[in-house]
Amino acid sequence: MAFNEKIWELCKKIPRGRVMTYKLLAEAAGTKAYRAVGNAMNKNPNGLLVCGYGKDMVPCHRVVDSSGHLRGFAHGLNAKARLLRMEGIGIKEDRVVNFKMVTYRFTRKLRKK
């Protein structure tokens, strides 16, 4: 599985109403390539606004920086904030409210193939 596909598959596992950082997503994939995770999110062909809540949807809007701030989103930060609010996540000044409480963590790393 290529890097981007691995990241997208992990991202699909972030539950609605939770967020994950680029760093945690990279660590779950067994890498420290945090910026590469951001690039994978940027190339996501199956975001919520493209395919809805179907099984192929990659919820890249749920990925934030390590301080809980919203970063790059193809449809703009206002759209990212709106999507997160629709999922029950508080946003204030482009930052996740109660960030530590809503941050999702995987319990195990994705095995390399």
Point out which residues pair with 19 in neighbouring strands: 103
Which entry of 60, 63, 81, 91 is annotated as an active-site residue?
Answer: 60
Task: For residue 45, count other CB atoms closer than 10 A to its CB.
Answer: 10
Active site residue 60: yes
- The residues, any chain, with a CB within 8 Å of residue 38's CB and separated by 6 or more, are 22, 71, 72
- The residues, any chain, with a CB within 8 Å of residue 19's CB and separated by 6 or more, are 62, 63, 64, 68, 84, 89, 96, 99, 102, 103, 104
| Catalytic positions | 60
